[in-house]
């Protein structure tokens, strides 16, 4: 029996949503970066952060353009950027219809890019 989503931590709510969207794929969950990381085919694709933020791997060629989306910024490891192809989407910007799905699709598209599929 699932608990009331309003009583869950933001991280767990996002992780549950990601589990649904990633069902049917080769996914392994790992505690990483203070979040719940989702490894797809053995590679990090997404992570649900403590506050419900989404760490997402995207095509590095789309990195700069995707930073223009509301609530998107470059994630930091300490005081250093994680680099091209990694973005952090604030949890408040993941609730619109199809928004989370679009970020998952971007990650999976990047994941299966040239030489990876």
How would residue 3 be classed by pLDDT, with cut points 50, 70 and 90? low
Structure tokens at 4: 């009331």
* CA–CA separation, 117 and 112 (whole Å): 5
User: Rounded mean pLDDT of 36-52?
Assistant: 95
Q: What's residue 117's pLDDT?
A: 40
Give residue limits of the domains in the chain: 5-111
Asked if residue 71 lies in contact with residue 13, where contact means CB atoms within 8 angstroms, the answer is no
Query: Residue 87 has what DSSP assignment?
Result: E
* CA–CA separation, 18 and 38 (whole Å): 8
Would the pLDDT of 114 be above 70?
A: no
Mean of pLDDT over the chain:
89
How would residue 115 be classed by pLDDT, with cut points 50, 70 and 90? very low
CATH of domain 5-111: 3.90.1150.30
User: Rounded mean pLDDT of 101-106?
Assistant: 96
* Token pair 């989503």 in the structure block, residue: 5
């Amino acid at each position: 029996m699932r608990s009331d989503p309003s009583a869950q931590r933001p991280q767990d709510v996002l992780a549950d949503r990601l589990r649904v969207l990633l069902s049917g794929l080769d996914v392994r969950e790992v505690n990483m970066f203070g979040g719940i990381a989702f490894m797809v085919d053995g590679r990090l694709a997404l992570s649900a952060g403590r506050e419900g933020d989404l760490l997402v791997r995207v095509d590095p060629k789309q990195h700069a353009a995707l930073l223009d989306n509301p609530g998107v910024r470059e994630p930091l490891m300490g005081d250093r950027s994680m680099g091209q192809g990694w973005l952090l989407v604030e949890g408040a910007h993941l609730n619109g219809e199809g928004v989370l799905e679009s970020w998952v699709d971007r990650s999976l598209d990047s994941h299966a890019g040239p030489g990876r599929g």
